[in-house]
């Protein structure tokens, strides 16, 4: 291990080992500067290269950076030495959800809470073009407040890796949790496969055992393909309907995440309060799911915005039904916030700050990053680097749209340069700076 006296690269103090696998060991750590507890996953480069898993590690890094959500384990940073790769992750000290299930089924309310958080996280992943592909209680962690955190994106896939038929073709996952279409090996929708796994998890939470289990693997696969399982007598009646819709062996008719969130059992006891802070509003909007992405999502692109000058942005404008939808928590607005999963060139987010403040803040950030700024009619700013990076000169277009007099949509487009530099500037600097009171 490339450390000196239990200190990693003069930044993290290493503690005891808390887990290990074939290629990695996980240690408890502490940030020496901030004192924050972290988990440090140490991967042996030579083992990874021998196993031909270099691309898998790269994918895990890019995916984990992409999916920042309260119910997903956060990746702080990635470090490397000549022999090791270090993932510095959020420390989740509550252990695996699996440990709770060893004692048997959970109380219905507890199971519902965990399932809601799982669906929130996976819906967010899908909205970013990410499919987990290995959802199971062992990969679901609990923090010290009892909140669920999805971990281990080592088998995940991005939408851009789909073939021309729009499907994924790599068979992977844990046998008891894998969807029938994955077993079939004819191609599958990554989102629908994840939903199936979520259904198996929900069954286990409420029953205390797996719906599909057999000592003979082929017999278990036969049961999965047929969707053949039995509910125990103690299984909540209202939850049976939801589980049956999720564990539908036909992915075409299988329930979607948007439909799951509208299910009566899922919504029981759910309190929806109007967020008072813009961070909450943006989070709420961005974590809505795909029910509305289709027909109306395309129409949103056809709306006409006032883009003549900054003063024009402060005036009222008519945006058809968008004003109503932006205030209605039942509708999905995810199409406005998703980056282009195909080439990762676009990011959209909301801000409650005035347009003039947005422009000033963008100029300030550009100056700090030593980027030159070019304006076009006040609402279109182009920032460009002075030096060439990995993939040409970094260039970003920022366009500002008024949604309501006090709410603006910022669209950032990468015109050139490295995508990781683009994501760092937009998501870690611009976005936090522009979230204001809505």
Q: Kindly provide the b/e burial profile for residues 277-296, where b requires at least 16 CB atoms within 10 angstroms of the residue's own CB.
A: ebeebbeebbbbbbbbbeeb
- Taking the C-alpha atoms of residue 88 and residue 117, their distance in angstroms, rounded to an integer, is 23
Q: The tokens 């696969």 sit on which residue?
A: 221
Radius of gyration of the chain (CA): 23
**H, E, C per residue of the chain:** CCCECCEECCCEEEEEEEEECCCEEEEEEEECCCCCEEEEEEEEHHHHHHCCCHHHHHHHHHHHHHCCCCCECCEEEEEECCCEEEEEEECCCCCEHHHHHCCCCCCHHHHHHHHHHHHHHHHHHHHCCEECCCCCHHHEEECCCCCEEECCCCCCEEHHHCCCCCCECCCCCCHHHCCHHHHHCCCECHHHHHHHHHHHHHHHHHHCCCCCCCCCHHHHHHHHHHCCCCCCCCCCHHHHHHHHHHCCCCCCCCCCHHHHCCCHHHHCCCCCCCCCCHHHHHHHHHCCCHHHCCHHHHHHCCCCCCCCCHHHHCCCCCCCCHHHHHCCCCCCCHHHHCCCCCCCCEEEEEECCCHHHHHHHHHHHHHHCCCEEEEECCCEEEEEEEEEECCEEEEEEEEEEEEECCEEEEEEEEEECCHHHHHHHHHHHHHHHHCCCC
Q: Which residues are catalytic?
A: 134
């Amino acid at each position: 291990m490339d450390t000196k006296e239990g200190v990693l690269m003069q930044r993290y103090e290493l503690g005891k080992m808390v887990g290990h696998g074939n290629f990695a060991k996980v240690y408890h750590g502490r940030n020496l500067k901030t004192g924050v507890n972290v988990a440090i996953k140490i991967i042996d480069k030579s083992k990874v290269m021998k196993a031909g898993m270099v691309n898998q590690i790269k994918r895990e890094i890019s995916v984990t950076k992409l999916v920042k959500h309260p119910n997903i384990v956060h990746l702080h940073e990635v470090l490397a030495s000549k022999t090791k790769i270090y993932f510095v992750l959020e420390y989740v000290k509550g252990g695996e959800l699996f440990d709770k299930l060893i004692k048997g089924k959970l109380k219905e309310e507890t199971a519902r809470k965990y399932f809601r958080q799982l669906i929130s996280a996976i819906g967010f992943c899908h909205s970013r073009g990410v499919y987990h592909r290995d959802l199971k209680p062992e990969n679901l962690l609990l923090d010290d407040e009892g909140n669920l955190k999805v971990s281990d994106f080592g088998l995940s896939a991005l939408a851009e890796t789909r073939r021309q038929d729009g499907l994924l073709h790599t068979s992977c996952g844990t046998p008891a949790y894998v969807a029938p279409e994955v077993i079939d090996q004819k191609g599958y929708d990554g989102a629908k496969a994840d939903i199936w796994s979520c259904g198996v998890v929900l069954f286990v939470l409420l029953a205390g055992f797996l719906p599909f289990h057999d000592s003979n693997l082929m017999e278990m696969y036969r049961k999965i393909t047929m969707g053949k399982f039995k509910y125990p007598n103690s299984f909540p009646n209202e939850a049976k309907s939801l589980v049956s819709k999720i564990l539908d062996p036909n992915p075409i008719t299988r329930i979607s995440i948007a439909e799951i969130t509208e299910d009566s059992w899922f919504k029981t006891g759910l309190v929806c309060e109007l967020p008072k802070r813009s961070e909450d509003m943006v989070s709420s909007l961005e974590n809505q799911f795909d029910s509305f992405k289709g027909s109306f999502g395309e129409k949103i692109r056809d709306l006409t915005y006032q883009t003549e000058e900054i003063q024009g942005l402060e005036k009222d404008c008519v945006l058809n039904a968008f004003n109503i939808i932006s205030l209605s928590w039942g509708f999905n607005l995810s199409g406005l916030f998703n980056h282009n999963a195909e080439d990762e060139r676009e990011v959209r987010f909301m801000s409650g700050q005035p347009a003039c403040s947005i422009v000033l803040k963008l100029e300030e950030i550009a100056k700090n990053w030593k980027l030159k700024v070019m304006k076009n009619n006040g609402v279109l700013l182009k920032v460009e680097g002075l030096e060439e990076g990995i993939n040409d000169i970094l260039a970003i277009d920022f366009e500002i749209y008024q949604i309501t007099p006090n709410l603006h949509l910022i669209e950032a487009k990468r015109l050139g340069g490295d995508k990781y530099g683009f994501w760092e500037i937009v998501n870690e600097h611009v976005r936090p700076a522009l979230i204001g009171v809505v």
